Homo-oligomer: A and B are copies of this chain.
């Protein structure tokens, strides 16, 4: 058995242990404490990464790589928050009495072994590790090459805490792309892949595995300014959606404007004043920069058709004072987020109130939009009988089922 396969096997065994231990909350508190105790080693490792990266990577990436006192405090606070969340495992989502003494329970469970692959930011390691521990999933973590020493120091602190509880391998770091490529083939051992990073990285992973992938490659978001839009709101929302932070997936890439909207010039001027360069034909492009496509449309239908054709089903917003048009947009646009008179930039787990975010999904199954802890959970059915057999319920004198809902609560 290859080294990587052994690693995945250890993750699987650790998942069985982690999902059934009563120590998960204690482990999370231990992780928070260990990250503080190892602060010096973590900062030293980060300094080495920074020294090597200096001048070699773009400035925004370099900034994200920095792990200082304030950022580590945020990381530790984040882990503590996750430790305080109620344990989601074992929660009964539905309970049905199938017949006298035969009770079916739909019970919340972890998914299994997760492979999380992401770029530079070292704060992702403790965040994803803590979310995985909270939900009873084992995780294989592959971070960016630039953060390798920082990630190793963070991983050391996390695994030390897990080791105290005999489940060290519930969190494992993966070093190379070659190993990732091998893991992506192990659909018998790994249950979910979560990539976070550039479009190219995510798309390459989506194309090279049969394991379900939770995430999004593109964020081609639209703001549609309807014929009946308020001019002030239109300008505010367009500028915020594009320019408030253009480097992220929920920033808008295309502005659709109804031909009869009277404030077009005002809105375009507001965008230009915010430093936005306007273009008019590269509709599928995700610029992640102060560049925006503008298209004049003749109707709401044309706007919706445009979004379905060129969008990435991430987040799209209509600006209008006409409730019928708004409702049509909210119903008909097939995206994870459909907004009315609000900036696309709200599409985010923290803003939605999920506490912690796993990522944003443009999938049509399992989890859609910003994904919180729920995205790392599934369920199993427990059936408790007393010698019940199916023969009793079939044939000529078949006994009927009761199917009486007796309890449980979704989420």
Contacts and interface: CB of A to CB of B under 8 A. Distances in A.
Interface in A207-223: 207, 210, 212, 214
A239 B102 CA distance: 19
A364 B236 contact: no
Nearest to A102: B342
Main secondary structure of the interface of A (DSSP, over half): mixed
A186 to B, nearest CB: 14
A52 interface: no
A212 B212 contact: yes
Contacts of A379: 368
A341 interface: yes
Nearest to A328: B20
Query: How large, as a class, is the contact surface on chain A?
Result: 35 or more
Contacts of A369: 380-381
Contact of A382 (B232, B340, B409): B340
A345 to B, nearest CB: 4
A237 B342 contact: no
A401 B346 CA distance: 11
A16 interface: yes
Contacts of A347: 381, 383
A338 B368 contact: no
Scoring A111, A336, A352, A393 by chain B CB atoms within 10 A of each residue's CB, the highest score goes to A352
Contacts of A339: 382-385
- Interface pairs A-B: 6 shortest CB-CB: A410-B410, A342-B385, A353-B403, A240-B389, A233-B387, A345-B390
20 contacts: A16-B334, A90-B331, A98-B352, A102-B342, A111-B364, A191-B365, A212-B212, A212-B364, A212-B365, A237-B387, A337-B381, A340-B384, A341-B386, A341-B387, A342-B384, A342-B385, A342-B387, A346-B390, A351-B393, A365-B366
